[in-house]
Chain A
Amino acid sequence: MTIQETQEEIIADFDFFENWEDKYDFIIQLGKELPLIQEQYKTDENLIRGCQSRVWLHVEYKDGQLLFTADSDAVITKGLISLVIKVLNGHTPKEIAEAEITFIDAIGLGSHLSPTRSNGLLSMVKQIKAYALAYQAKSMQQ
């Protein structure tokens, strides 16, 4: 599935929710269920400092694809992170660098990407993009 297709699928899933409780319940469950990152990668180096919640991001480059694991101490942020990872995981640096993350806005949680909210999600998306650009540049050199 392309990045765009996965985003459309998520947006369609969220269309089923009739109220905010169901929507958040779904995100919270995602946040609770996914053991996103191995403890050994929860290092200061991998910590993206948001003002309110902490986010860790670990990146691996394997067979031309980027693989992400991440975690947050805030469960709603964690749920959203797992969706971002679902969208971007296993794609090439070029695809990720060029991708536009539209689904968060579309499911009505765009405020999480506002710089004033500073919950770490925006910084994480920026960090993923930076990794993608770096690996893209590296693969072109090789």
Chain B
Amino acid sequence: MHDTMTIGEQLDIQKIRKDFPILEQTVYGHPLVYLDNAATTQKPTAVLKAMDDYYTTINSNVHRGVHHLSQLATDAYEGGRKKVAEYVNARYDHEIIFTRGTTEAINLVAACFGKKFLREGDAILVSGMEHHSNIVPWQLVAEERGAVVKVIPIDENGELVLDNLERLLDGVKIVAFNYVSNALGTINPVSTIVTAAHKRGIPVMLDAAQAVQHMSVDVQELDVDFLAFSSHKLYGPTGIGILYGKEEWLNQLPPYQGGGEMIKTVSFEKTTYNDLPYKFEAGTPDMAGAIGLGAAIDYVRGLGIENIQRAEHELMEYALSVLAGIDGLRLVGSVDASRRAGVISFLVGNIHPFDLGELLDQQGIAVRTGHHCAQPIMDRYCIPGTVRASMAVYTSREDINRLAAGIRKAAALLL
């Protein structure tokens, strides 16, 4: 564990790397360079230990038992919720709903909001750089309700074109877009969109899956109505994620799934639903996951998210300058490091991303290739996909140097 750092302190990346035992391995004889952090981040020992401790010492079902262990498990589980609420600065703990991940959180809002508020001819506004998980749930509910999905276009630099935002908002009942693009790394202008939408009383759902690990996310400051993210991209365990919703919105939505925990009273004539957050948490929740996520947040706060942001920004600038020196390499998206977080998407010459990814893998370098579950972006650029290198707090300059050398070697074989 790290002692809590103060803002402005320089992070010791080599010391941080020791917190992530998975990084100390070789792949095909090369020390692992893990640059697929936008897909999932690695977990620090503190998270693994918290989950192990939970199962070793207090595992018990929450909220139901009169017994000692159940009380301890409930306290730990609710402690996880509290940490999340503090991390995103929610007004109340009960505005934090545990889901299976970002995808489920978006599906929950799409389904429940759609059922209550969408009528034939209404519109949902998404952006042209969304992950499929922030497109398809809206298409499903639009089809069901006879609504349409409209799209904010993107320009050549991978930025949203907001010139016609006012016109695009006509007939819109909810706006959904990402804070940071998983495919391009673009940081989107949340406040501009939120202000325009709120002027017309339209709520906004923000997909923060690629933001919460890279920058401070304050739901009150952003003034978004719903926000989603996944634990596993924030150094926490897989299988758990968060839906934040403003109390007044969550109270208006009908329940998502039925089952235990989400009810107050059940009879065959009439069932009444539980209060927030339990209304949306049917069934036994992922207790170990919530505790693991809480430990991940402790870890991140221990380092200081502002310190992480600064270190990653410096690394992004370094990476962009190193990659710019590679013949034929072209970035997809903005060349300005301050407009991106975490992600570098690129192509080299006419090399297929899959070929480049495979030869990087042979050198122990893990990147992602393909359309990154954001096919509309690839269509926008008329490319089959990109190679994506994505960073985390433990990513070092040495990792970037290895990536650059790996690309050069692969290109020499392929070109």
Contact = CB atoms under 8 A, between A and B. Distances in A.
Interface in A17-34: 20-21, 24-25, 28
Given A28-B414, A73-B384, A75-B355, A51 B370 contact: yes
A73 B352 contact: yes
Nearest to A29: B413
B355 A74 contact: yes
Interface string B28-51: 100000000000000000000000
B352 A53 contact: yes
Contacts of B80: none
A54 B355 CA distance: 12
Nearest to B358: A76
B406 to A, nearest CB: 12
B296 to A, nearest CB: 27
Interface residues of B, number: 16
A7 interface: no
B354 interface: yes
Contact count band on A: 10 to 19
Contacts, number: 38
A82 interface: no
B183 to A, nearest CB: 14
B359 interface: yes
B362 A20 contact: yes
B413 A119 contact: no
Q: Most chain-B Cβ atoms within 10 A of its Cβ — which of A51, A76, A77? A: A76
Contacts of B385: 52
B353 interface: yes
Contacts of A52: 353-354, 369-370, 384-385
| Residue of A52, A73, A77, A119 with most partner-chain B CB within 10 A | A52
A85 to B, nearest CB: 19
A74 to B, nearest CB: 4
A20 B28 contact: yes
A53 B359 contact: no
Contact of A74 (B28, B352, B409, B413): B352
Nearest to B369: A52
Contacts of B362: 20, 24
B413 A25 contact: yes
A119 B352 CA distance: 12
Nearest to A118: B370
Interface in A72-88: 73-77
B359 A75 contact: no
A79 to B, nearest CB: 10
Contacts of A25: 413
Nearest to A20: B362
Interface string B274-312: 000000000000000000000000000000000000000
A97 B362 CA distance: 33
Contacts of A75: 351-352, 355, 414
Contact of A21 (B351, B358, B369, B413): B413
A74 B356 CA distance: 9
A-B residue pairs, 9 tightest by C-beta: A74-B352, A52-B354, A74-B354, A20-B362, A52-B370, A53-B354, A76-B355, A74-B355, A75-B355
Interface of A: 20-21, 24-25, 28, 51-54, 73-77, 119
Given A52-B370, A53-B354, A75-B351, 19 more contacts: A21-B413, A24-B359, A24-B362, A24-B413, A28-B355, A28-B413, A28-B414, A51-B370, A53-B384, A54-B384, A73-B352, A74-B352, A74-B354, A75-B352, A75-B414, A76-B354, A76-B358, A76-B359, A77-B354
